[in-house]
Structure 1
Amino acid sequence: MSSISLEQANILIAAAFAKGGALGLKPLTIAVLDAGGHVIALQRQDGASNHRPQIAIGKANGALALGVSSRQVEELANKRPSFVAALGPICPQGIIPAPGGIILVGADGAPIGAVGVTGDTSDNDEACALAGAAAADLKPQWSGSRLERRP
């Protein structure tokens, strides 16, 4: 597989919303991007705040831009805050250094896109991203997440 289809993106989003519902989370917003950072699908649950779409896109985009999960972007921001802050002007879709953005890879391990989830705690956002990816049969890049198991 070399790309994420709209059908897969919609399955991912539905499953991530279902995971959020099962956990009793706050309203979520989910963005699925292709490997070039273009939005394939974006949905916001009723009651989600107004800038959540930009945050979801920023989590996914940041992961793609730096080649690591947004959890690892957060770790990088803690170690090198000036570097991560300097990325803002060159990344118009944003880089959000908080868990909830994961890279999705094809059979060869190359990135085919990313998902970004926002709305609850960052750990819960990430759990929903991983659940959605699994439901859509999309493989996350190993990110070191406490919530993700190595394949």
Structure 2
Amino acid sequence: MPQPAHPAAINGLTLAQSETIAAAALAKGRELGLLPLCVVVLDAGGHLKSARREDGASLLRPEIATGKAFGALAMGFGTRELARRAQAMPGFTNALSDLSGGKAVPAQGGVLVRDPQTMALLGAVGISGDVSAKDEECCIAGIEAAGLAPDTGDPA
């Protein structure tokens, strides 16, 4: 009989939560008629919890979605804000890219996942496939479907 994970081994999001987020995010994309999407859910430690790539999603979509989620985690705010900073401070964005080994993508569509009561960081979602604002809209829908709080990088 398999043993449940030790509570200390769970780093933020559970697999069930991450699967709910991914499924609801893709459903939102279909509802909106978006291009094929890829959704990646990372836990608070940056570890992969869930990844789904729709049929027809182009080649680098998983890497871009991962980069959006990773960028949000790395900076501690959603990539809506990271995209604004990239426009205002390209030198910083270049340094971030170098320091992260090119893993942080400064484009809207990476959203932090927080506990709705404590606002503790649980992980991040990244989506790629359509325009960045629509990718972000799907992230938010997925996070909210799991009963969690999205953090896009905008002040509340």
- Output the TM-score relative to the length of structure 1: 0.90
Out of 65, 71, 89, the position equivalent to 1:62 is 71
In structure 1, stretches of 5+ residues that fail to align are none
Out of 57, 75, 92, the position equivalent to 1:48 is 57
1:100 counterpart = 2:100: no
Render the CA deviation track for 1:31-90: whole Å, top value 9, x for unaligned.
Answer: 000111111111100000111111001001101111111110000101110111111232
Q: CA deviation at 1:110?
A: 2.1
Q: 2:79–2:107: 8 Å Cα contact kept in structure 1?
A: yes
Shift in alpha-carbon separation, 1:93–1:9, aligned structure 2, 3 A:
farther
Percent of aligned pairs with the same amino acid: 44
Superposed CA RMSD in Å reads: 1.7
Highest CA radius of gyration, 1 or 2?
2
Q: 1:34–1:112: 8 Å Cα contact kept in structure 2?
A: yes
Q: Show structure 1 runs of 4+ deviating over 6 A.
A: none
Q: 2:69–2:112: 8 Å Cα contact kept in structure 1?
A: yes
In structure 2, stretches of 5+ residues that fail to align are 1-9
- Output the TM-score relative to the length of structure 2: 0.88
| Match of residue 36 from structure 1 | 45
| Match of residue 89 from structure 2 | 80
CA distance in 2, matches of 1:26, 1:72: 24
